């Protein structure tokens, strides 16, 4: 609702969007060591583990079952 231009107006809409972008960049900067650790572990992992990672992230079975 806050990102709805007719409700907030263009100026507030743009400020909210800029704030969200800034929050994302701050979040990424604060967690840069985690990203580096994941990249380091992925780089040192064997080919079999990397293949499992790729298959696991692309697998539709990882999605929640429909009720």
User: Residue written as tokens 């960049």?
Assistant: 25
**Rounded Cα–Cα distance for residues 67 and 16 (Å):** 36
What is the rounded distance in angstroms from the CA atom of residue 10 to the CA atom of residue 31? 32
Name the phi and psi angles at 56, rounded to 5: -65, -40
**For the segment 35-63, what is each residue's pLDDT rounded down to a tens digit?**
899 888 888 888 887 777 777 766 665 55
The domains of the chain are located at: 7-55
13-43 pLDDT per residue, tens: 889 889 999 999 999 999 999 989 988 888 8
Contact call for residues 42 and 56 (beta carbons, < 8 A): no
Question: For 13, phi and psi rounded to 5 degrees?
Answer: -60, -45
Q: Quote the pTM value.
A: 0.56
């Amino acid at each position: 609702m806050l990102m709805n231009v007719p409700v907030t107006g263009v100026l507030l809409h743009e400020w909210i969007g800029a704030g969200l972008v800034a929050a994302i960049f701050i979040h990424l900067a604060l967690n840069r060591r985690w990203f580096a650790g994941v990249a380091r572990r992925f780089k040192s992992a064997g080919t079999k583990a990397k293949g499992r990672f790729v298959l696991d992230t692309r697998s539709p079975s990882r999605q929640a079952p429909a009720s």
